[in-house]
Amino acid sequence: MAAVSLRLGDLVGKLGRYPPWPGKIVNPPKDLKKPRGKKCFFVKFFGTEDHAWIKVEQLKPYHAHKEEMIKINKGKRFQQAVDAVEEFLRRAKGKDQTSSHNSSDDKNRRNSSEERSRPNSGDEKRKLSLSEGKVKKNMGEGKKRVSSGSSERGSKSPLKRAQEQSPRKRGRPPKDEKDLTIPESSTVKGMMAGPMAAFKWQPTASEPVKDADPHFHHFLLSQTEKPAVCYQAITKKLKICEEETGSTSIQAADSTAVNGSITPTDKKIGFLGLGLMGSGIVSNLLKMGHTVTVWNRTAEKCDLFIQEGARLGRTPAEVVSTCDITFACVSDPKAAKDLVLGPSGVLQGIRPGKCYVDMSTVDADTVTELAQVIVSRGGRFLEAPVSGNQQLSNDGMLVILAAGDRGLYEDCSSCFQAMGKTSFFLGEVGNAAKMMLIVNMVQGSFMATIAEGLTLAQVTGQSQQTLLDILNQGQLASIFLDQKCQNILQGNFKPDFYLKYIQKDLRLAIALGDAVNHPTPMAAAANEVYKRAKALDQSDNDMSAVYRAYIH
């Protein structure tokens, strides 16, 4: 089959190792460099804020491959993206028809005007004489109008006059053309959700956000409506707000959804650990144009990322020594320590100025020990565990909790934007670890309660589906609730967040409570249920498999 030639403006579908998605080839921002290597196009995806350089071999004409994509991806968000494409095409077609109709009308008016402008010789002389008289009369009236206009302007404020006289700014489409304009990603501040999500301008801060995606709208509210906070810019795209109470807790609003485009750092990035979370993170770093060197204990997992443009590191020490900033994301405290202190480990590659960011969910004591040994060698350290799951990691929608070297946190800005929707800087080393364990303690306890409720419904003769429908209409409604209940109802426990890891986090959270003599009875009860699920061989299933602890 002959190769299909693609060009600017074409509708395309991205087909590859990730679920397919429709998009359009657009001009990239002027400051966004094109990746070296294979030929690629800059694609803006429908129904999302995403945009990226995509290799030509991964792009197919949208119309020719639409049905193929629909068969592969049956997700709700994908269907919304397809609807956005169809809506875009309908509006574009409507505009073309309107333009054609207007052009025809203009032509008819011109022809009619030409016919009327052909007078006979007698009429022509009379009209010429009349027109000369009108010109003289109008000149006199014109002087009066100028004088009158001056008096009118004198009664108006300078601001109002400026508003009346200033022409419409160049480059911004008129209102009736907004929906048909695909904005350059460097100018987009955020995208409204709905069928035309990728093709509308974000309202200003003073305007209400209407019909926005609930998840994204909640993010905006958290930044604009939170009381007793103040913002100050610390980098071009990074915001910090500090609580008036004097707390060291600092929140950063840093998101592709808000900023629209990402200019990748020119620093060399290393990444150690390609598990459920690490794989999605690395993919998004590469997609946004970062230079990444990867290492994984099981080397075969690196192959896919090498094909995507990553470089291969033979050992953790080699990755750290050749990169400016190295991230790591591993399973537990023991793995985190072995990665740094073990043979050919991170510590052996640390030199003055080298940066290490640990994204693993571990206890505060572990992360403090790692920070001390890194800094003792002249390195810089940041802890940055992430809240989310595999799907959110793939979508670049993680929440990053960071603590430690604040300068390094700022240096990681473009990386955090690529992998997450927001990031929080929480002060000194150990704070992020504590906060992450508390977050996962709440999540794990909630999951156990969901499973308990569904099994109680079943044994009392109530419909589990009806229970889910009721919950989804109430105050507990959330994506997490719906997805985990669907897992249980469908018996699908493919891991999105390993059960063994949420049990580990519960155990560490209980220990955190013990250290400060604070009771955690709810977490302790949930932990016992997860331990039973592990005994039933559910460790490598999704956390929702805790349900099976109640039915066996």
Strand pairing report for 51-55 and 59-61: unpaired
Which of these ranges, 39-43, 146-150, 493-497, has the smallest mean pLDDT? Answer: 146-150
Q: What is the pLDDT of residue 520?
A: 97
DSSP state of 412: T
Give Cα 442 distance to the centre of its chain: 24
Q: What is the pLDDT of residue 98?
A: 67
Question: Which of 41, 106, 47, 40 has its CA nearest to residue 77?
Answer: 47
Q: Which residue has the higher pLDDT, 171 or 129?
A: 129
| Structure confidence at residue 69 as a pLDDT band (50, 70, 90) | confident
Q: What is the pLDDT of residue 182?
A: 38
Rg, Å, the chain Cα set? 30
Q: What is the pLDDT of residue 59?
A: 86
Q: Which residue has the higher pLDDT, 210 or 139?
A: 139
A 10 A CB-CB count for 378 gives 11
| Structure confidence at residue 307 as a pLDDT band (50, 70, 90) | very high
A 10 A CB-CB count for 268 gives 16
pLDDT at 417 over 60: yes
pLDDT at 240 over 70: no
Q: How far is residue 251's CA from residue 400's CA, in Å, rounded to a whole number? A: 10
| Residues 92, 94, 95, 96, CA torsion sign | positive
User: What is the per-residue burial (b if ≥16 Cβ within 10 Å, else e) of 104-119?
Assistant: eeeeeeeeeeeeeeee
Q: What is the pLDDT of residue 342?
A: 95
Q: What is the pLDDT of residue 28?
A: 84
Q: Indicate the pTM of the whole model.
A: 0.59
| Structure confidence at residue 18 as a pLDDT band (50, 70, 90) | low
Q: What percent of the chain stands above pLDDT 70?
A: 67
The 10s digit of each residue's pLDDT in 129-160 is 444 454 444 444 444 443 444 444 444 444 44
Average pLDDT over residues 379-387: 98
Question: Which of 296, 441, 431 has its CA nearest to residue 367?
Answer: 431
pLDDT at 291 over 80: yes
Q: Are 25 and 7 in contact (CB under 8 A)?
A: yes
The 10s digit of each residue's pLDDT in 435-482 is 999 999 999 999 999 999 999 999 999 999 999 999 999 999 999 999
Torsion of CA 322, 274, 44, 61, to 10 degrees: 110
Q: What percent of the chain stands above pLDDT 90?
A: 53
Task: For the chain, give the mean pLDDT.
Answer: 77
State which amino acid sits at residue 360: S
Q: What is the pLDDT of residue 34?
A: 74
The 10s digit of each residue's pLDDT in 107-132 is 566 555 555 555 444 454 444 444 44
pLDDT at 105 over 90: no
Instruction: Give 513-522 contacts, CB < 8 A, sequence gap 24+.
Output: 520/441, 522/445
Q: Which residue has the higher pLDDT, 71 or 151?
A: 71
Average pLDDT over residues 359-384: 97
Q: How far is residue 343's CA from residue 375's CA, in Å, rounded to a whole number? A: 19
Q: Which residue has the higher pLDDT, 32 or 150?
A: 32
| Structure confidence at residue 104 as a pLDDT band (50, 70, 90) | low
- Token reading at 370: 């790692």
- Token reading at 71: 């068969």
Q: Any idea how long the chain is?
A: 552
